[in-house]
Structure 1
Amino acid sequence: MDMSEVICGCVGVTAQDIKDAMNNGATTLEEVQEATNAGTCCGGCVDKIEEIMIAK
């Protein structure tokens, strides 16, 4: 995956931003959302966020 890919277009969060949140201790979807705001507007990217979290 391209780490510069925008995963959440609503707030401009990239795959790297999600990885960074995880590296900083976020372990659940809710914690990633709190750290990045990804998936908190329309929710259309939640599946992509979860895919990135599973792939670690």
Structure 2
Amino acid sequence: MLKATGGVPSPFDNWILLRSTKTLALRYQKASDNAEKLADWLNKQKGLIV
């Protein structure tokens, strides 16, 4: 992060980071749910070795 933003992030960068952390848990939960649905679907496919 230090190399990407420099020594001190800008106020805008901090705002974006703060905004995105508010929904981080929700986004990870949704990604996990989607991965589980995909795995279940793949397991039901005939002729697919998993």
Q: TM-score category by the smaller chain? A: under 0.3
Which has the higher relative contact order, 1 or 2, with Cα contacts under 8 A spaced 6 or more apart?
1
TM-score computed with the length of structure 2 as normaliser: 0.27
Higher Cα radius of gyration: 2
TM-score computed with the length of structure 1 as normaliser: 0.25
